[in-house]
């Protein structure tokens, strides 16, 4: 049931976001809502002008463009935001399936979490990038998006039933308006998502059966990451 409810909630929130596109503020996070999180300097640096921000050597979220490696992740270079937003898919300089601005935001947003939290974010980013690139494959896109959601759910709740750590304390993939405004930051991208959503309207979809399927839905090597990055209380989430 969680998949169906979250899908409706996301669609409604995007309709509201779309209505604000005429103000040219869709791509900017609301600095008034960013308190108490590990979000770097996002609050004070979102002027809505990607070129000015690049000249100040920070990206559109206020993150330093000189940073190279954070929490074991190599950051892609700060993209030219105007070029990045001219097309649906934007810039993906390292060709990992995640748009560069989205990747930078995820790495910095989850820098104080276990690396698996960032990998979940990457999986969400890849799934939505696939959806934008393949408007004729809504069912396959739905499977990828739901897979990311199931992986998220596993490390938020179900993992403890397998004596594995809980590594995220919230939904990255759904009910996350901040992430929505990062990855769906232009009118064209929002309209593409809503078109995908309409193609699925009226369908009947099954949910994941259990925790084994949720774990298997993760598209990264869980065992290798848990071995390479042992879990302690400081990496479960803040």
Residue 226 lies in a domain: yes
3-state secondary structure of 196: helix
pLDDT recorded at residue 32: 39
Task: Answer yes or no: is 37 within a domain.
Answer: no
Mean pLDDT over residues 28-52, rounded?
42
* Domain-embedded: residue 81: no
The burial of 5, by beta-carbon neighbours within 10 Å (0-12 exposed, 13-18 middle, 19 or more buried), is given as exposed
Q: What is the DSSP letter of 162?
A: G
Segment 134-160 mean pLDDT? 95
> How far apart (Å, rounded) are the C-alpha atoms in residues 30 and 200?
30
Q: Which domain holds residue 181?
A: 2-25+91-235
Alpha helices, DSSP H, located in 48-114? 50-55, 81-84, 100-109
Report if residue 138 sits inside a domain. Answer: yes
Measured CA angle at 15 (ends 14, 21), to 5 deg: 85
Determine contact, residues 101/81, Cβ cutoff 8 Å: yes
Q: Which residues make beta-bridge pairs with 64? A: 58
Structurally, how many domains does the chain consist of?
A: 1
Q: What is the mean pLDDT of the chain?
A: 82
Contact 217, 154 (CB under 8 A): yes
Give the tens place of pLDDT for each residue, 157-216: 999 999 999 999 999 987 688 999 999 999 999 999 999 999 998 776 666 569 999 999
What's the whole-model pTM score?
0.78
Residue 62 lies in a domain: no
Residue 12 pLDDT: 47
What the block records as the tokens of 28 is 């900017």
Domain assignment present for 104: yes
Q: Specify the length of the chain in residues.
A: 238
């Amino acid at each position: 049931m969680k998949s169906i409810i979250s899908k409706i909630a996301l669609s409604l929130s995007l309709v509201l976001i779309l209505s604000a596109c005429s103000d040219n503020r869709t791509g900017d996070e609301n600095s008034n809502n960013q308190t108490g999180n590990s979000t770097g300097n996002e609050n004070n640096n979102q002027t809505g002008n990607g070129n000015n921000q690049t000249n100040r050597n920070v990206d559109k979220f206020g993150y330093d463009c000189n940073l190279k490696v954070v929490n074991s992740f190599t950051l892609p270079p700060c993209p030219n935001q105007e070029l990045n937003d001219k097309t649906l898919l934007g810039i993906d300089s390292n060709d990992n399936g995640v748009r560069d601005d989205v990747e930078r935001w995820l790495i910095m947003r989850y820098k104080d979490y276990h690396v698996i939290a960032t990998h979940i974010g990457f999986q969400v980013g890849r799934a939505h990038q696939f959806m934008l690139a393949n408007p004729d494959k809504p069912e396959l896109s739905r499977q990828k998006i739901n897979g990311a959601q199931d992986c998220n759910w596993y490390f938020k709740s179900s993992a403890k039933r397998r004596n594995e750590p809980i590594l995220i304390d919230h939904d990255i993939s759904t009910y996350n308006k901040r992430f929505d405004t990062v990855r769906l930051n232009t009118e064209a991208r929002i309209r593409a998502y809503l078109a995908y959503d309409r193609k699925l309207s009226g369908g009947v979809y099954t949910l994941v059966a259990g925790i084994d399927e949720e774990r298997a839905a993760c598209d990264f090597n869980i065992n290798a990451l848990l071995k390479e990055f042992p879990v302690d209380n400081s990496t479960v989430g803040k």
